[in-house]
Copies of this chain bind each other. A is one copy, B any other.
Amino acid sequence: MDIKKEFGKRLNQLRKDRKMSQEKLAELSELNRPYISAIEQGKRNVSLEVISKLAQALDIEIKQFFEA
């Protein structure tokens, strides 16, 4: 699987584990909901700063995005 798809799948999983909506994640990360949706679909090559915002919004460490 490519890295964008892997990351998107993992983001989706971590968000759902927390019972958080895409809207809530968008609000907390200061990103917009369609962008969150595109990331989860593996369609965005996100940057370090976006990865960092998503980790903060989910209250996790960045490395958790890259653990199985």
Contact = CB atoms under 8 A, between A and B. Distances in A.
Interface of A: 3-4, 7, 45-49, 51-52, 61-63, 66-67
Majority SS at the chain A contact face: helix
Given A3-B62, A4-B48, 5 more contacts: A3-B48, A45-B47, A45-B49, A46-B47, A47-B47
A33 to B, nearest CB: 20
22 contacts: A3-B48, A3-B49, A3-B51, A3-B52, A3-B62, A4-B48, A4-B49, A7-B48, A45-B47, A45-B48, A45-B49, A46-B47, A46-B48, A47-B47, A47-B48, A48-B51, A61-B66, A62-B66, A63-B63, A63-B66, A63-B67, A66-B66
